[in-house]
Amino acid sequence: MLLDEWHCGTGLEPLGSSRPAAIFSPECHVPGRDRPENTENDAAGAGIGAVQSHSHPNPEELIAGKRILFLVGGPRSGTTWLQLLLSRSSRIATANETHLFTAYTPSLFSAWEHHQQNVRRLGLHNLMREDEYFALVKYFVCAVMAKIAERNSRAEIILEKTPDHVLYWKSILKTFPEALFLHVVRDPRSVVASLCAAGAGWGAQWASREVLENCETWIKYIKKSQGLKAVSNNFLQVRYEDLWQHGEETLLSVFSWLGVDVSPQECSQYLSECDIDNLRNNRLTGAPWDLTTEPKDFYRKGGTETWRDELTAREVYLIEHLTRELMREFGYAPISMRRKFILPLIMASRIRTGIAWRLQARRANRDNR
């Protein structure tokens, strides 16, 4: 039974009834009655806003006038820390990572183009125009943003922090052309050390224990951010080290870029409240989500030089060899001397990575039996 048939036949409102009218016909068909004759393209041009439920306003209208901010960066770069710092302002609404553009919408963006090239002309492009289709996608995305905004009715900025969104910036800009992007960059040696620690513990399902693979991850995220920076006029980059060493000044500059009026004293207070020990021990009151749900060791030591005690000289050299030019671009100074025989080191690291992934796949297959 079709959803609208069920709705009309029972008189009950189906789940998710704050729905775009372009998807659900305003005419109800009840089994046993004649369905009204369809007229071709009778809904063309209607759009999402043309036939809205009186009790459920368009989510795009709910977030009208609010700015959308995406906080992005490589994994283990300090994005969560900066998100919590910004969340202390009453003018910012936020929530835990949504993975909206990384998990929920990628197929929505790719399917339209994919099916247009189908030799049998299959797909939704036979039923609606491209602008109608993406209006539906935007309806869903705006509904998520409206849910974040509900958490703080006074907020003027909706802050979404999913680090991986830097890989999907094209989809974001297609939906929100005026979106703001705040990118956090961190020393690759610190990122790799943190990723290796996560891969050996709480993050084993997604993080690698291998230096080479984690180094390539850092490079990938940095290059994606550079592509975003080249096309966006609403892009700000912050170094984790500047936030750690010059917290008040750096945080004040971020708030100023956002147009949020805070004092140096307030920034100092936010930094004190979001001290790494407070986060690690769940002592942050008024957090935007329950910090007790974070895994053990999610918040580590912080700092800018801990990698020196966690990486071997060979690992440091490998990282610096692969990222040397990017490191210099961001003001990170290599400490190792150039060696002649880097290829055997890379080959050995790739072999270890391959073995590690095979062992992990074998364990997963064994667990699924």
pLDDT value for 358: 59
The pTM score is 0.79
| pLDDT reading at 9 higher than 90 | no
8 assigned to some structural domain: yes
Q: What tokens appear for 142 in the block?
A: 């705006």
Shortest CA distance to 322 belongs to which of 312, 336, 304?
336
**Residues 307, 190: contact at Cβ < 8 Å?**
yes
The residue type found at 359 is L
356 assigned to some structural domain: no
12 plus 61 within the same structural domain: no
67 assigned to some structural domain: yes
Among 267, 292, 317, identify where a domain stops.
292
27 plus 70 within the same structural domain: no
69 plus 153 within the same structural domain: yes
11 plus 82 within the same structural domain: no
* For residues 250-258, average pLDDT: 98
282 plus 160 within the same structural domain: yes
Q: What is the pLDDT of residues 314-351, one digit of tens each?
A: 899 999 999 999 999 999 999 987 655 556 666 666 66
In this prediction, residue 367 has a pLDDT band, given cuts at 50, 70 and 90, of low
83 plus 173 within the same structural domain: yes
301 assigned to some structural domain: no
If you write DSSP's letter for every residue of 261-285 in order, what string do you get?
Answer: ---HHHHHHHHHHT-HHHHHTT--T
285 assigned to some structural domain: yes
The whole domain housing 13 covers 1-36
Region of 72 on the Ramachandran plot (φ > 0 left; ψ -120 to 50 alpha; else beta): beta
In this prediction, residue 353 has a pLDDT band, given cuts at 50, 70 and 90, of low
192 assigned to some structural domain: no
Q: How many domains does the chain have?
A: 2
Q: Which of 90-99, 175-184, 301-310, 330-339 has the lowest mean pLDDT?
A: 330-339
**Residues 165, 261: contact at Cβ < 8 Å?**
no
24 plus 80 within the same structural domain: no
| pLDDT reading at 22 higher than 50 | no
32 plus 1 within the same structural domain: yes
334 assigned to some structural domain: no
Cα 189 from chain centre: 23
225 assigned to some structural domain: no
pLDDT value for 98: 98
10 plus 112 within the same structural domain: no
62 plus 140 within the same structural domain: yes
In this prediction, residue 247 has a pLDDT band, given cuts at 50, 70 and 90, of very high
77 plus 180 within the same structural domain: yes
Geometric angle at alpha carbon 282, from 278 and 286, rounded to 5°? 90
95 plus 66 within the same structural domain: yes
